[in-house]
C-alpha cells in the first residue's frame, strides 16, 4: 500500500488475530470491525458529507452486518446502519485514502441484495479509478439474489471445485475478492450444482448447516449459540467536534468473538477453498485458544486495574466518613502487625480477587470459553460495585462543556438557571461555556459582525456568568479560534452548505485554503481562518479581550487552536491563505503552494512557519488577557497525539505553550470507551517534562458511554496525576449520572469539606480543608487538601491493619509525613518563596523514601502504591503550578 496499492476490506477481518496483528491491521485499514449487529438494519449512504463517491444509486439496502469503527485521522464514515428503533447510527462503511472497509461480509451476509453489493464494489473501485476491474471478471451464471447460509447445502459446498493452495500457504484475513460474479452468482433452477458459483454462505453467523462440513473428528464445535462477545478495550478517540460532527481518531473495544461462525467468517476464505481449509487451518478451537491465550495478559491486567480502582474508591470513601482516629499523629504508638493481612477488607474486591484467580485457573486448564465468561461477568460485576452512595471526590477541577445547542434550547435565563442548578448539585466547579461557535458569538458583540441568529431577546453570556458565580462555580468562555465556518451549523440556520460563515463572508481574504483553493476542509466541513493574516489575529484578540473585560469571565478556553487535519504524504495540506503565502515567499523566495512533502527542507520550513503562527498567537492571547486581568485562567483543548504526527498534521505545538507558561491548563481530548485505554492515552502526558508546571485536565466524552463506564474513567483519572477532569458535554448528561455525581462529588455542607481529616495542629486546619479549593485558583491550598486526603487514607488503612511497614520505617514514615503536611499547610496559609522552598524540599525528601517504605506494600498491593505515588505527583505539580502562577506572576486568589 505504501507503493500505491489500495484495499477493500469486508467483515470481521482480523478479529481472531493476535493483539499486535490487530493493531497493525487497524493502522493499515484505518478502521476495524467493532461489533456485530444481530438484527436486519437499514444501510444508508452518508449523504450529509462531501463524499462524492457514495452518491450513486443502488447503495441503500437492509441486512445484517456489523459496526466498523474508524481509527485514523483521515477515516470518513461513508455509510451508516440506521435502526428504526433508536436514533443511533453505527458506521457501516469507513474509508480512508487507501482503504474502504465494508461492515458486512461482502457476498455473504443475509439481506443485502446482489445489486447493493455490486453497487458498493463499483463505488469503491470507482473511487480508485478501477471500475474496469468489475467487467473483467466473466460471469459464471445468471445473477440471483443472495441467500443466507441455509441456502447453501453441504452437498453444494462439496461440489465447488477448490483452487490449489500450497501446503504452507497461510490463510489469513484478507481484503474482499473483486470478482462479484464468482461470489454473487448462484445456480438457476436448471443449473447443476457442479457449475454453480457457491456463495460462501457456510460462513453465515447464525447458521450451523455448513459447520458439519468443516468438522474435524474429535474436535468439538463451538456453536453460534455461544456467548457472542465481550470487549478488550482499545482506544476510541473522537475529535473535539461540536454539534453533530464526529471524527473518531483512535480505536474502540475489540470484541473477543466466541461464535465459531464468526471466527470462520473472520478468515474470509473463498468458497473454492472449503476443501483445502480442513487440511491447512488449525481446528477452530485452536484458533480460539490462540486468540484468548495471547489476550490473557491484557485481560488479567485490565481486571487487576479495575479491582484497584474500585478498592481505591472504597478506601477514599471510608476514610472520609470514618469517625476513627484522624491523621497520622499516633502512628508511632499504633503500629501495624507484620503478620496482619494487607489484602483489602472491601468485600467486593475480595470476591473479585477470588474471581480473578478463577479466571487464571480456567485458562491454565484450557477452559477458554469458561475463562472468557468469567472475565466478562467479573468485569461487569466490578463496575457495579463502586460506592456511588457516598462522597469519593477530593479537591479537583470538575469541568463540563456547556454546548451551544443546550444554551440555545434553554432560551431564557430562567431555563438556563436550572441547568446551572443541576451542574452545581453534581459538584461541577468549572463550566466551559460555548461563547464563539463557527464565527458567531453567543452574545451581542461590538467586535463580531453577527451574533448567533438562534439567540434572540436575551444575553446568554451575561446570564451564565451571573448564574455560575451565584453558585460558587467558575465560568470559562469556550472559543472556537480559527474554525470560523461550519456546514453543520449552516444547516441549522437553513443556509447553503457553502456559506463560509459571517467572518469570511465579510472578509474573503481572511480564509485559508488547500492547494486547490478550497476553503472548506473536506474532512470536517469547516472553514478555517489564516493564522498568518494580521487582520485575523487582531480581530480575534479584540474579540477575546471583549469577552474577558465585558463579562468578567473567570477563564478563556481556546478551541480549534490549530490548522485542520492534513496528510502531507498524500499532498493533502492546508493553510494557503493569501497572507501566509506572501509572508512565506518573502522569507524563502518560494510560494508554498508549489512545495511538496518530498522537498524535505522546504517542507519543514513551511510546516515550521505554520506552527509558529499558532504558537505566537497563543502567546499574544496570553499576554493580552493577563495585561487586562492577571487572575484570568487560560486553557486549550488539544489533541493528545504523538508530537511529530501532531505537528505534521495540524501544527498544534502545545508543549511550547506550556513550557513558556502561556497556558494554565491543558485539556487533552482523551475520548475513549474504556478506562484502560484512557490510561494508555493519558499517561504520556503526565511524563512530559514540558508540562511539569501546567495543570492537565483529561476529558471524558459522555456520548454513548454507559454511566458506570463514565464513572470508572473518572475514578481512573483520580488515581492518575491529573488535576481533575472535563466532561463533554452537558447535552449528554443524564439523570442517572446526575444522581451519581450528586452523591459522590456534590457540594458538601459549608465548612465540612475534608475538615476533620487534617492531621496537623488545629491552627493550620482552617487553611488545609475548610473549603474545597479549585486547583487552578488556589493551587497551594489544593495541594495541602489533596495531601490531607492521602493521609486520611493511610490512617484508615493503618487502623485496620492494612499497612505493611515494619519499624523503624513506620515511625520514620509517620514523622516525615507530618513534616510534609505542616510544610504544605504553612505554604497554603501564607504563600512565599521561603515557604515554597521548604515545602518542595519536604516533598522531594518524602518522595525519595516513599518507594522504600512501601516495598512490602507494593508486593501485595502494587496498584495501590502506584496510585499513591501518582497522587503525590499531583501535589508536586500543584506546587510547581502555584510557584509559576502565584509567586512569579503574582496572581491573587
pLDDT, tens digit, 9 for 90 and up, residues 8-39: 999 888 877 766 687 778 888 888 888 777 67
What value does the CA radius of gyration of the chain take, rounded to a whole number of Å? 30
Our CA angle for 446, 447, 452, nearest 5°, is 80
What's the predicted TM-score (pTM) here? 0.70
Find the range with the poorest average confidence among 142-146, 495-499, 587-591, 710-714: 142-146
The pLDDT tens digits for 670-725 are 999 889 889 999 999 999 988 999 999 999 999 989 999 999 999 999 999 999 99
Q: Is-contact 580 514, C-beta < 8 A?
A: no
Q: Is 354 in the same domain as 478?
A: no
Position 518 scores a pLDDT of: 94
Position 855 scores a pLDDT of: 92
Position 334 scores a pLDDT of: 44
Cell 522504600 identifies what position?
A: 852
CATH of the domain at 419: 3.20.20.80
Cell 438556563 identifies what position?
A: 416
C-alpha pair distances (Å), 312 with each of 178, 309, 793, 878: 54, 5, 9, 22
Question: 487: alpha, beta or left, given left = phi > 0 and alpha = psi -120 to 50?
Answer: alpha
Cα 108 from Cα 91, distance rounded (Å): 19
Q: What three-state secondary structure class fits 635?
A: strand
Cα 309 from Cα 864, distance rounded (Å): 9
Position 880 scores a pLDDT of: 97
Q: Is-contact 532 580, C-beta < 8 A?
A: yes
Cα 38 from Cα 41, distance rounded (Å): 9
Q: Is-contact 256 292, C-beta < 8 A?
A: yes
The pLDDT tens digits for 641-659 are 999 999 999 999 999 999 9
Cα 122 from Cα 129, distance rounded (Å): 10
Q: Is 780 in the same domain as 739?
A: no
Cis peptide before 729 (omega within 30 of 0): yes
- Average pLDDT over the chain reads 79
- Residue 881 has a CB neighbour count (10 Å cut-off) of 24
Q: Is 782 in the same domain as 659?
A: no
Q: Is 666 in the same domain as 797?
A: no
Cell numbers for 282, please give them. Answer: 488449525
Asked whether residue 201 is assigned to any structural domain, the reply reads yes
Position 109 scores a pLDDT of: 58
Q: Is 558 in the same domain as 691?
A: yes
Position 304 scores a pLDDT of: 93
Find the range with the poorest average confidence among 277-286, 580-589, 600-609, 799-808: 277-286
Long-range contacts of 847-854 (CB under 8 A, 24+ apart): 847/872, 847/876, 849/812, 849/813, 849/816, 852/809, 853/805, 853/809, 853/812, 853/813, 854/805
The pLDDT tens digits for 778-814 are 999 999 999 999 999 999 999 888 898 989 999 999 9
Cell 476553503 identifies what position?
A: 519
Q: Is 36 in the same domain as 64?
A: yes
C-alpha pair distances (Å), 650 with each of 251, 560, 607, 613: 20, 10, 9, 12
Position 208 scores a pLDDT of: 30
Asked whether residue 666 is assigned to any structural domain, the reply reads yes
Position 32 scores a pLDDT of: 87
Our CA angle for 841, 845, 847, nearest 5°, is 115
Q: Is 354 in the same domain as 451?
A: no
Position 632 scores a pLDDT of: 96
Asked whether residue 566 is assigned to any structural domain, the reply reads yes
Q: Is 406 in the same domain as 380?
A: no
Q: Is-contact 181 135, C-beta < 8 A?
A: no
The pLDDT tens digits for 475-528 are 999 999 999 999 999 999 999 999 999 999 999 999 999 999 999 998 889 999
Find the range with the poorest average confidence among 209-223, 243-257, 435-449: 209-223
Position 231 scores a pLDDT of: 34
Question: Higher-confidence residue: 373 or 293?
Answer: 373
Q: Is-contact 697 664, C-beta < 8 A?
A: no
Position 184 scores a pLDDT of: 35
Question: 723: alpha, beta or left, given left = phi > 0 and alpha = psi -120 to 50?
Answer: alpha
Cα 58 from Cα 359, distance rounded (Å): 48
Asked whether residue 248 is assigned to any structural domain, the reply reads no
Position 88 scores a pLDDT of: 54
Cell 475489540 identifies what position?
A: 254
Cell numbers for 328, please give them. Answer: 497520622
Q: Is-contact 648 641, C-beta < 8 A?
A: no
Q: Is 692 in the same domain as 721?
A: yes
Cell numbers for 267, please give them. Answer: 478468515
Strand runs labelled E in 606-688: 633-638, 665-668
Note the residue count of the chain: 893
Residues 6+ away with beta carbon under 8 Å from 235: 250, 251, 252, 672, 673, 674, 677, 678, 680, 681
Q: Is the pLDDT of residue 175 over 80?
A: no
Cα 705 from Cα 700, distance rounded (Å): 9
Position 33 scores a pLDDT of: 87
Strand partners, 483: 528
Banded model confidence at residue 227, pLDDT cuts 50, 70, 90? very low
Element (H, E) at 726: strand 724-728
Q: Which domain holds residue 881?
A: 298-389+764-888
Q: Is 798 in the same domain as 843?
A: yes
Q: Is-contact 420 468, C-beta < 8 A?
A: yes
Asked whether residue 276 is assigned to any structural domain, the reply reads yes
Q: Is 609 in the same domain as 670?
A: yes
Instruction: Report the percent of the chain where pLDDT is more than 90.
Output: 55
Q: What three-state secondary structure class fits 556?
A: strand
The number of domains in the chain is 3
Average pLDDT over residues 557-576: 94
Asked whether residue 217 is assigned to any structural domain, the reply reads yes
Q: Is the pLDDT of residue 885 over 60?
A: yes
The pLDDT tens digits for 239-295 are 444 433 433 333 333 333 333 333 333 333 333 333 333 333 334 355 556 666 778
Assign 3-class secondary structure to 781-835: HHHHHHHHHHHHHHHHHHHCCCCCCCCCHHHHHHHHHHHHHHHHHHHHHCCCHHH
Q: Is the pLDDT of residue 457 over 50?
A: yes
Our CA angle for 432, 619, 783, nearest 5°, is 55
Closest by CA to 728, choosing from 466, 427, 404, is 404
Cα 743 from Cα 819, distance rounded (Å): 33
Cell numbers for 393, please give them. Answer: 471526590
Find the range with the poorest average confidence among 395-404, 743-752, 834-843, 883-892: 743-752
Q: Is the pLDDT of residue 82 over 50?
A: yes
Q: Is 694 in the same domain as 806?
A: no
Backbone angles phi, psi at 267, to 5 degrees: -75, -25
Q: Is-contact 199 161, C-beta < 8 A?
A: no
Asked whether residue 291 is assigned to any structural domain, the reply reads no
Identify the domain boundary among 691, 725, 749: 749
Find the range with the poorest average confidence among 284-288, 307-311, 742-746, 750-754: 750-754
Q: Give me the helices (H) in 113-191, please.
A: 114-127, 132-135, 154-159, 180-184
Position 130 scores a pLDDT of: 66
Question: Higher-confidence residue: 122 or 156?
Answer: 122
The pLDDT tens digits for 90-141 are 889 999 888 999 998 887 755 688 889 889 998 888 887 765 555 444 443 3
Question: Higher-confidence residue: 764 or 497?
Answer: 497
Asked whether residue 758 is assigned to any structural domain, the reply reads no
Cα 292 from Cα 285, distance rounded (Å): 10
Find the range with the poorest average confidence among 120-124, 233-237, 461-465: 233-237
Amino acid at each position: 500500500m505504501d507503493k500505491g496499492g489500495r484495499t477493500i476490506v469486508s467483515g470481521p477481518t482480523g478479529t481472531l488475530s493476535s493483539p499486535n496483528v490487530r493493531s497493525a491491521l487497524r493502522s493499515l485499514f484505518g478502521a476495524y470491525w467493532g461489533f456485530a449487529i444481530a438484527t436486519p438494519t437499514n444501510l444508508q449512504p452518508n449523504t450529509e458529507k462531501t463524499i462524492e463517491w457514495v452518491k450513486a444509486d443502488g447503495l441503500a439496502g437492509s441486512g445484517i452486518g456489523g459496526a466498523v469503527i474508524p481509527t485514523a485521522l483521515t477515516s470518513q464514515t461513508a455509510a451508516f446502519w440506521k435502526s428504526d428503533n433508536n436514533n443511533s447510527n453505527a458506521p457501516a462503511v469507513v474509508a480512508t485514502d487507501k482503504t474502504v472497509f465494508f461492515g458486512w461480509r461482502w457476498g455473504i451476509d443475509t439481506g443485502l441484495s446482489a445489486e447493493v453489493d455490486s453497487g458498493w464494489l463499483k463505488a469503491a473501485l470507482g473511487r480508485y479509478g478501477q471500475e474496469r476491474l468489475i467487467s473483467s471478471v466473466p460471469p459464471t451464471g445468471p445473477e440471483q439474489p443472495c441467500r443466507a447460509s441455509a441456502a447453501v447445502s453441504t452437498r453444494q459446498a462439496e461440489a465447488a471445485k477448490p483452487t490449489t493452495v500450497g501446503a504452507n500457504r497461510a490463510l489469513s484475513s484478507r481484503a474482499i475478492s473483486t470478482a462479484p460474479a464468482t461470489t454473487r452468482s448462484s445456480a438457476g433452477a436448471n443449473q447443476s450444482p457442479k457449475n454453480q458459483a457457491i456463495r460462501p454462505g457456510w460462513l453465515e453467523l447464525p447458521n450451523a448447516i455448513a459447520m458439519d462440513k468443516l468438522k474435524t473428528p474429535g474436535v468439538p464445535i463451538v456453536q453460534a449459540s455461544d456467548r457472542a462477545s465481550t470487549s478488550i478495550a482499545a482506544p476510541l478517540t473522537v475529535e473535539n467536534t461540536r454539534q453533530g460532527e464526529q471524527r473518531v481518531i483512535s480505536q474502540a473495544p475489540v470484541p473477543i468473538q466466541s461464535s465459531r461462525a464468526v471466527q470462520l467468517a473472520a478468515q474470509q476464505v473463498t468458497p473454492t477453498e472449503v476443501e483445502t481449509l480442513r487440511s491447512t487451518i488449525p481446528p477452530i478451537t485452536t484458533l480460539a485458544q490462540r486468540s484468548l491465550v495471547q489476550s490473557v495478559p491484557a485481560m488479567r491486567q485490565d481486571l487487576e486495574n479495575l479491582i484497584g480502582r474500585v478498592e481505591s474508591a472504597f478506601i477514599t470513601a471510608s476514610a472520609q466518613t470514618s469517625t476513627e482516629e484522624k491523621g497520622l499523629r499516633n502512628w508511632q504508638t499504633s503500629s501495624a502487625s507484620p503478620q496482619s493481612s494487607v489484602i483489602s477488607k472491601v468485600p467486593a474486591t475480595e470476591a473479585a480477587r477470588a474471581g480473578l484467580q478463577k479466571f487464571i485457573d480456567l485458562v491454565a486448564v484450557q477452559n477458554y470459553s469458561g475463562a472468557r465468561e468469567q472475565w466478562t461477568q467479573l468485569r461487569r460485576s466490578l463496575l457495579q460495585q463502586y460506592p456511588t452512595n457516598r462522597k469519593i471526590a477530593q479537591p479537583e477541577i470538575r469541568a463540563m462543556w456547556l454546548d451551544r445547542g443546550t444554551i440555545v434550547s434553554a432560551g431564557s435565563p430562567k431555563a438556563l438557571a436550572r441547568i446551572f442548578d443541576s451542574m452545581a448539585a453534581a459538584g461541577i466547579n468549572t463550566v466551559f461555556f460555548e461563547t464563539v461557535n463557527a464565527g458567531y458569538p453567543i452574545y451581542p458583540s461590538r467586535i463580531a459582525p453577527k451574533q448567533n441568529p438562534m439567540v434572540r431577546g436575551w444575553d446568554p453570556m451575561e446570564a451564565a456568568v451571573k448564574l455560575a458565580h451565584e453558585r460558587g462555580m467558575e465560568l470559562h468562555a469556550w472559543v472556537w479560534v480559527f474554525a470560523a465556518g461550519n456546514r453543520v451549523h449552516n444547516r441549522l440556520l437553513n443556509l447553503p452548505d457553502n456559506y463560509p460563515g459571517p467572518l469570511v463572508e465579510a472578509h474573503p481574504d481572511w480564509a485559508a485554503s488547500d492547494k486547490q483553493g478550497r476553503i472548506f476542509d473536506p474532512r470536517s466541513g469547516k472553514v478555517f481562518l489564516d493564522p498568518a493574516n494580521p487582520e485575523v489575529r487582531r480581530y480575534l484578540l479584540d474579540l477575546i479581550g471583549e469577552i474577558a473585560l465585558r463579562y468578567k469571565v473567570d477563564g478563556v478556553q481556546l478551541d480549534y487552536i490549530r490548522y485542520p487535519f492534513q496528510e502531507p504524504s498524500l499532498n493533502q495540506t492546508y493553510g494557503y491563505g493569501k497572507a501566509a503565502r506572501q509572508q512565506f515567499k518573502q522569507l524563502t523566495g518560494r510560494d508554498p503552494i508549489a512545495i511538496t512533502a518530498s522537498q524535505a527542507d522546504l517542507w519543514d520550513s513551511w510546516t515550521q512557519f505554520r506552527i509558529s503562527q499558532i504558537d505566537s498567537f497563543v502567546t499574544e492571547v496570553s499576554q493580552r488577557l493577563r495585561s487586562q486581568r492577571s487572575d484570568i485562567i487560560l486553557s486549550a483543548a488539544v489533541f493528545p497525539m504523538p508530537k511529530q504526527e501532531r505537528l505534521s498534521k495540524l501544527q498544534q505545538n502545545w508543549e511550547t505553550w506550556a513550557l513558556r507558561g502561556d497556558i494554565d491548563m491543558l485539556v487533552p481530548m482523551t475520548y475513549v470507551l474504556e478506562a484502560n485505554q484512557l490510561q494508555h492515552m493519558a499517561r504520556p502526558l503526565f511524563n512530559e517534562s514540558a508540562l511539569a508546571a501546567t495543570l492537565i485536565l483529561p476529558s471524558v466524552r459522555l456520548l454513548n458511554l454507559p454511566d458506570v463506564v463514565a464513572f470508572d474513567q473518572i475514578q481512573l483519572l483520580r488515581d492518575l496525576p491529573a488535576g481533575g477532569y472535563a466532561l463533554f458535554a452537558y447535552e449528554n448528561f443524564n439523570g442517572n449520572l446526575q444522581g451519581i455525581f450528586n452523591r459522590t462529588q456534590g457540594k458538601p455542607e459549608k465548612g465540612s469539606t475534608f475538615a476533620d481529616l487534617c492531621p496537623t495542629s488545629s491552627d493550620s486546619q482552617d487553611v488545609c480543608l475548610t473549603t474545597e479549593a479549585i486547583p487552578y485558583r488556589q493551587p497551594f491550598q489544593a495541594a495541602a487538601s489533596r495531601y490531607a486526603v492521602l493521609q486520611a487514607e493511610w490512617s484508615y488503612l493503618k487502623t485496620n491493619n492494612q499497612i505493611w511497614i515494619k519499624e523503624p520505617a513506620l515511625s520514620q514514615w509517620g514523622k516525615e509525613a507530618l513534616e510534609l503536611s505542616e510544610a504544605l499547610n504553612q505554604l497554603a496559609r501564607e504563600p512565599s518563596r521561603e515557604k515554597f522552598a521548604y515545602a518542595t524540599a519536604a516533598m522531594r525528601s518524602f518522595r525519595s523514601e516513599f518507594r522504600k517504605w512501601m516495598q512490602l506494600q507494593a508486593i501485595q498491593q502494587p496498584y495501590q502504591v502506584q496510585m499513591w505515588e501518582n497522587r503525590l505527583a499531583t501535589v508536586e505539580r500543584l506546587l510547581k503550578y502555584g510557584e509559576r502562577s502565584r509567586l512569579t506572576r503574582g496572581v491573587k486568589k
